[in-house]
């Protein structure tokens, strides 16, 4: 049985904060409450390619684990549509939406936050994306994949560009 690897969405796979902050104004206090907000988030550099490489590596059982927005009830369906857009319909079966990530059992959680949505209770290893230790997807991939698979990631990245 392969180790279970969870990947967060907001600010790990897609640009949540950099999309949200410029839109906060007195007239629009909660821009993330708008229809289409989550569906239209842009992927973070190398995030899609990295997760596809992890899926295809055969070393991990990969899931997307994201917390919903209670401000925007559409976040549930839009996050699911976002996953289909970038990973295909079949991978939607690997989407878990939970307000408490600490309830899930697994070996790794890649998340930009170390607390707030149950990350502090997660019993596996937290790989904090964007931290000094893991500032980019390249550093995450260096940690998670054995040396022999790094060529596959670099090759896939070149083919996509």
Q: Of 110, 10, 96, 102, give the one whose Cα is nearest residue 60.
A: 110
Contact, 68 vs 75, CB < 8 A? yes
Residue 64 · residue 6 · CB < 8 Å:
yes
Q: What is the spatial distance between Cα 150 and Cα 152, in angstroms, rounded to a whole number?
A: 5
DSSP 41-80: PPBPTTHHHHHHHHHHHSS-EEEEEEPPPSS-TTHHHHHH
Q: Is 112 a catalytic residue?
A: no
10 catalytic, yes or no?
yes
| DSSP code at position 14 | B
Catalytic residue among 10, 11, 111, 112: 10
Residues with catalytic function: 8, 10
């Amino acid at each position: 049985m392969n180790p279970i690897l969870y990947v967060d969405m907001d600010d790990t796979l897609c640009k949540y904060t950099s999309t949200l902050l410029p839109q906060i104004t007195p007239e629009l206090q909660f821009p993330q409450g708008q229809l289409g907000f989550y569906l239209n988030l842009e992927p973070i550099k190398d995030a899609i390619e990295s997760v596809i490489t992890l899926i295809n590596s055969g070393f991990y059982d990969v899931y997307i684990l994201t917390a919903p927005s209670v401000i925007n009830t559409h976040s549930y369906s839009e996050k699911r549509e976002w996953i289909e857009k970038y990973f295909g319909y079949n991978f939607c079966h690997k989407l878990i939406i939970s307000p408490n990530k600490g309830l899930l059992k697994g070996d790794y959680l890649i998340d930009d936050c170390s607390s707030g949505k149950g990350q502090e209770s997660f019993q596996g290893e937290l790989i904090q994306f964007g931290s000094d230790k893991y500032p980019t997807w390249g550093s995450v991939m260096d940690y998670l994949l054995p040396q022999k698979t790094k060529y596959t990631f670099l090759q896939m990245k070149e083919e996509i560009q």
